[in-house]
Amino acid sequence: MSAGNLKYKDESWDFRSANTKEYTHCFHTYPAMMIPQIARKLLAKYGTEGGWLLDPYCGTGTSLVEASLFGMHSVGCDINPLVRLIATAKTAPVCLQTLDETLSQLNDHLFQIEFQDGKIPDAPIPNILNLEYWFSEEVIRCLAYLRTWINKVEDEAVRNFILVAFSETVREVSYTRNGEFKLYRMPAEKIDGFKPDVFGIFGKKLSRNRHGVAAFLEKRKSVEVSVSGVNTVQGELPMPRPLGGYDLVITSPPYGDSHTTVAYGQFSRLAAEWIGLPNARKIDKLAMGGQHSKEILKDSPISSAVDKIRLIDEKRAREVSAFYADLGRSINSIAQVLSLRATICYVVGNRQVKGVLLPTDEFVVDAFRQRGFTHKVTIVRNIPNKRMPKKNSPSNVAGKTATTMHEENIVICQRTTHTC
């Protein structure tokens, strides 16, 4: 088969009408999440029951949840502590009886507050910069009370479950504009009439997630799941490392540096600060391409595209180069821990910068080829339901926007040699 035939479009991977919120996938919104049906289909084709899956950029744990349902042990890594919390909660074998007893106690406390005198008990307010800019006084009191109550929950899995609902509530009751990933405050006229029911919103999320976790636990296999903050860009290797290496990688790395694509750190910052997680304001800088580099990628599938960008904007060219240099370093780390017959499945988007298309899929293929892998296929799918910004500003000229990605590529490579 010629190289040209290894990439093709397949609409059966679009999953336009699929329910993407089954099981614990319902837990928490997050930007650019890989839909579970992709991981599920890849597991059915390339997975091995009792084997080990690695997701080095696991986000909220979509592939880890699906691996647990399929019967593979899994390890996920992410530098963002909030999504590590979510991924851990989504995959944990929480005791439903303990969970229900705790939720019943919480519901009783909230009932007494709302239907007796309505006065919210005093609770310590976290020291968060510009807290009053993002939340009303009443909302702050409600969140502070919930935060104090949750922190007293002894069972870690139950506490994590409740914190996930709290995290999503924090963003929903803040003054941030809906539909934005970056932190933008809603206009003054909307703020005047914005009086969210904090306890009501929180309760609905707990109820929704309770249904999801019950469905998940019913089908979850007896497998190990581990989530860590290992940074493969820095050469850190995922642990625990199974004997012989990981059999399968299913992952969706960032589309580009957080400053100019999806601002994962900004999206999660307020919730992370309320929960008390570390580095809440540093995630985007710590992410791939977050630190500018003068490194020039030569003889790479993206080299000519970067050269074109450089002619338009030298700074943007450096930012793009920094991202791909980091992605290459990460792939080098990942290749070291894979088995001799491992399969890698990378779901990537080919974004445009300054009107120049960046062939990320070809970069991934080339990076793994250098490490003893053979390119099997690249499947192109439409993105009908991925939570992405609809427009961006490639030129930074006010009012001048371009549509963002409407397709993504599922790159599949398999190791065929004994080299790393």
**At which of 165, 189, 217 does a domain end?**
217
The verdict on 108 and 210 lying in the same domain is yes
What is the pLDDT at residue 256?
79
In a domain, 352, yes or no: yes
Q: Given this model, what pLDDT does residue 257 score? A: 73
Q: Which of 181, 201, 217 is the last residue of a domain?
A: 217
Residue 151 lies in a domain: yes
Asked if residue 420 belongs to a domain, the reply is no
What's the confidence (pLDDT) of residue 393?
43
| Environment class of 112 (CB within 10 Å of its CB; exposed 0-12, middle 13-18, buried 19+) | exposed
58 and 74, same domain (yes or no) = yes
Does 209 share its domain with 239? no
- Integer Cα distance of 392 and 389 in angstroms: 7
pLDDT of 216 reads 98
Domain with 156, as residue range(s), is 96-217
Do 51 and 76 fall within a single domain?
Answer: yes
Is 81 found in the same domain as 17? yes
Instruction: Tell me: do 250 and 322 sit in the same domain.
Output: yes
Domain membership of residue 209 (yes or no) is: yes
Q: Is residue 105 part of a domain?
A: yes
* 24 plus 126 within the same structural domain: no
User: Does 281 lie in the same domain as 210?
Assistant: no
Same domain, 213 and 267: no
Show the 3-state SS of the chain. CCHHHHEEECHHHCCCCCCCCCHHHHCCCCCCCCCHHHHHHHHHHHCCCCCEEEECCCCCCHHHHHHHHHCCEEEEECCCHHHHHHHHHHHCCCCHHHHHHHHHHHHHHHHHHHHHHCCCCCCCCCCCCCHHHHCCHHHHHHHHHHHHHHHCCCCHHHHHHHHHHHHHHHHHCCCECCCCCCCCECCHHHHHCCCCCHHHHHHHHHHHHHHHHHHHHHHCCCCCEEEECCCHHHCCCCCCCCCCCEEEEEECCCCCCCCCCCCHHHHHHHHHHHHCCCCCCCHHHHCCCCCCCCCCCCCCCCHHHHHHHHHHCHHHHHHHHHHHHHHHHHHHHHHCCEEEEEEEEEEECCCEECCEECCHHHHHHHHHHCCCEEEEEEEEEECCCCCCCCEECCCCCCCCCEECCCEEEEEEEEECCCCC
Q: What pLDDT score does 398 carry? A: 41
Cα distances (Å, whole numbers) of residue 315 to 100, 257, 307: 53, 13, 12
Statement to judge: residues 363 and 387 lie in one domain: yes
Look at residue 185 and tell me if it is in a domain: yes
Residue 361 in any domain: the answer is yes
In the chain, the number of structural domains is 2
Q: Do 350 and 236 have their domain in common?
A: yes
Task: Name the residue among 172, 176, 173, 197 with its Cα closest to residue 187.
Answer: 176
Burial class (CB in 10 A: 0-12, 13-18, 19+), 61: buried
The single-letter code of the amino acid at 157 is A
> Is residue 295 domain-shared with residue 378, that is, in the same domain?
yes
Measured from the Cβ of residue 256, the count of other Cβ atoms closer than 10 Å reads 22
pTM of the predicted protein model: 0.93
**Is residue 378 assigned to a domain?**
yes
Per residue of the chain (420 residues), give pLDDT as tens. Answer: 345 579 999 999 999 999 999 999 999 999 889 999 999 999 999 999 999 999 999 999 999 999 999 999 999 999 999 999 999 999 999 999 999 999 999 999 998 887 776 689 999 999 999 999 999 999 999 999 999 999 999 999 999 999 999 999 999 999 999 777 788 999 999 999 999 999 999 999 999 999 999 999 999 999 999 999 999 999 999 999 999 999 999 999 998 776 666 678 888 999 999 999 998 888 888 888 877 666 778 889 999 999 999 999 998 999 999 999 999 999 999 999 999 999 999 999 999 999 999 999 999 999 999 999 999 999 999 997 655 554 444 444 444 444 457 899 999 999 975 543
Which residue among 175, 193, 217 closes a domain? 217
Sign, Cα dihedral of 232, 238, 242, 248: negative
Quote the pLDDT of residue 293: 67
CB 268, CB 87: distance < 8 Å: no
| CATH code: domain of residue 45 | 3.40.50.150
